[in-house]
Homo-oligomer: A and B are copies of this chain.
Amino acid sequence: MHVTMEEAQKAIEAARAKAVSLDTQMCIAVVDSGGNLKAFHRMDDAWVGSIDIAQKKAKTALFFGMKTGQIGQLSQPGGPLFGIEHSNDGLITFPGGIPIVDKDGVMSGAIGVSGSTVENDHTVAEAGASAIGATELPDHPWRT
């Protein structure tokens, strides 16, 4: 049910390879299905401020089973989830956090990446998550 250490390392290696190809320095975090940290990797010269953001992105994606950027669209001023980032000791709701879904459609964990543009963060997270599973739950009440 939980992502294993072997899977977490495979995800981090894939994310790191993508970060290198983009010439970026990233923090990469993997959490298990309880939202608890499984593995963390800070590339040399990555921002110190990204340590917490990468972990919060992974947790945010896991907490609600969605990519963080999708939650960010729902939590803008006037949106249905405006202010959700004040829960759970602080969420990060811009791109870079992605659920990891196993072959049975069950969320086994999530990955969070921070250190460059949100587009690059998202691309690197996708590379990591895709190396070990799917990145979308089969169904989701917030998805239109």
A contacts, CB < 8 Å to B: 1-2, 4-5, 24, 32-44, 47-53, 56, 59-60, 62-65, 72, 75-78, 80-94, 115-118, 120, 141-142
Q: Tell me how many chains of this kind the complex includes.
A: 4
A-B contact pairs, 23 of them (CB 8 A): A2-B44, A4-B44, A5-B43, A5-B44, A34-B36, A35-B49, A37-B40, A39-B40, A48-B62, A50-B64, A53-B84, A53-B88, A76-B78, A80-B117, A80-B118, A82-B93, A82-B94, A83-B85, A87-B90, A115-B141, A116-B141, A117-B142, A120-B141
Cβ 8 A contact of A141, one of B24, B80, B91: B24
